[in-house]
Homo-oligomer: A and B are copies of this chain.
């Protein structure tokens, strides 16, 4: 919830401003998902949105700010959905299975957003050429997953294993489930997720 004072340093934006930003972000998501990060020029994003190139420059300080906003909006949506679904789980095994199933569930309705997110994560670089989000950007996810796994180990549900390795494998299995699903028409996402849940449950249990 925002307070009156806009405490996080953001300027409050008008309704129109907000709508335009959302429209531009949405257009960027679609272009990136369809044509890839490298082809997603401002000109192309503007054309896709049916607006002038300059509008983007007017509403965003630069291409970087636009990309970062795409990430923040998209990533936030996923995190919220998954967190809500996991709130109901009690055991580590339940948490583990719920996480995989909830993410898959979210993917079905947010195909382009997640595809765009992946492109930006992989490709966006800072002015000095360093990746802005490298694999280090997954750290937050890894920590969250490790918490689940350690909880399982402490509760006696799970055997002893390296939680970091397990978290990386878990995270990458989900990422590639998404990529495979996007690329393979007719692929059964739910079945894939269920198999994955079994896989990691068996890999962890005593």
Contact = CB atoms under 8 A, between A and B. Distances in A.
Interface of A: 34-36, 38-39, 122-123, 125, 129, 131, 134-136, 161-162, 165-166, 168-169, 171-173, 175-177, 179-180, 182-184, 191-192, 195-196, 198-200, 202-203
Contact of A176 (B34, B162, B172, B199): B172
B165 A195 contact: yes
Given A39-B129, A129-B39, A168-B176, A161 B198 contact: yes
Given A165-B195, A169-B196, 14 more contacts: A34-B129, A35-B129, A36-B125, A38-B38, A38-B125, A122-B122, A135-B176, A135-B182, A135-B183, A161-B195, A165-B196, A166-B195, A169-B199, A202-B203
Q: Chain A contact residues: over half helix, strand or loop, or mixed?
A: helix
A191 B135 CA distance: 19
Contacts of A168: 173, 176-177, 180
A131 B115 CA distance: 13
A102 B113 CA distance: 36
Contact of A191 (B134, B162, B179): B162
Contact of A172 (B123, B135, B172): B172
A125 to B, nearest CB: 6
Contacts of A198: 161
A184 B136 CA distance: 9
Nearest to A134: B183
